[in-house]
Amino acid sequence: MERFVYYGWPGNVRELQHALERLIITCDANPIDVAHLPPLIAAAEPELTADRAITALAADGLDLPKLTANLERQAIEKALQRSGGVISEAAQMLHVTRRILRYKIDQLGISVGPPDSAGQK
């Protein structure tokens, strides 16, 4: 159910209707699991909103520099994970230059791993 909520539904109601019809026809499992969902819906993740971020990260109080650093860390780590550790690709995902991303990685102490043989990391 969460994946249905998180998915952006660019096709609106028709896309939702078709996804549900397809599940009803092709899946006899009860309950329906994430593995039964179409790949785009199965991969859907919640958007990080300011309210969610503050709730999740503000256990130590509303310290803006600390919250900002935690959000940056999470975004960078997620981009690096999605890019397979390739910094230039992660920088594109985050809409920053490779140099800025490298600076933030060093500043936040994020481990990237050794460079690959092509020197892309």
Domains parsed from the chain with CATH numbers: 2-42 (no CATH), 50-108 (1.10.10)
Q: What whole-number distance in Å separates Cα of residue 56 and Cα of residue 78?
A: 16
Q: What whole-number distance in Å separates Cα of residue 42 and Cα of residue 83?
A: 19
pLDDT tens per residue across all 121 residues of the chain:
777 777 777 777 888 888 888 888 888 777 877 777 777 777 776 665 566 666 666 655 667 787 788 788 888 988 898 888 999 999 999 999 999 999 999 998 898 865 554 444 4
Residue type, 15: E
DSSP string, 84-100: TT-HHHHHHHHTS-HHH
The residue with tokens 């995902």 is 93
Supply the pTM of this predicted model.
0.50
Q: Which two tokens stand for residue 11?
A: 């096709």
Instruction: Give the per-residue pLDDT at 104.
Output: 94
Report helix, strand or coil for 66.
Answer: helix
How many degrees, rounded to 5, is the angle at CA 71 between CA 69 and CA 72?
Answer: 65
How many degrees, rounded to 5, is the angle at CA 12 between CA 10 and CA 44?
Answer: 50
